[in-house]
Amino acid sequence: MRYKKYNQLFFALKKHICQNTNTRVMKKKLTLFILTFTLASSLLYSQDFEKGIHSDEFIKNCITEIFQDKTTDLVYNNNSYRYTLLTNFLKKQVVVEYRPEYQGKNFKSTKSLPLNNKYNASIQRDYSYQKGSFNPLKYAISMTPNKKIIYRIADSDYIMIVYPIN
């Protein structure tokens, strides 16, 4: 919807400029400007929590927030499969995107999901999305879904997409 408005505005501007100047150079410059602006806009409104971009430190912080003082025993233990599962989940399966065009869609909200608070009773639910501090491990969601699942982050325009394991 937002892109449609931008495109209409730019094509009206282009038409006005081209009618008044009728030069090929102006047409080319304006077309280049529109193309650059459209590309920049699509990059700005794309993914925030991209697959695979998380540092080991971010993953460690997410895990520690959930397991607290039991982290070493339950996750980093040599016999534990949890570390691999959690790392793969954060790097390959979960994505957060800003999607205002999904307003009104009935996705399950993170506000209604149970929290993973077995080892950390003070864990708090997110009521908005903040890049760099959002921890999907807080929520009791399936890490091995059979199909793609979409959740709305609180009442925001951000959605969390959980992909099945490939």
Is a pLDDT exceeding 50 seen at residue 62?
yes
Per-residue model confidence (pLDDT) at position 52: 55
The residue type of 83 is: Y
Distance CA 137, CA 66 (A): 7
More confident: 5 or 107: 107
Instruction: Give this prediction's pTM.
Output: 0.67
Q: In this structure, what token pair is assigned to residue 2?
A: 């937002």
pLDDT digits (tens, 9 = 90+) for 109-149: 999 999 999 999 999 998 888 888 899 999 999 999 999 99
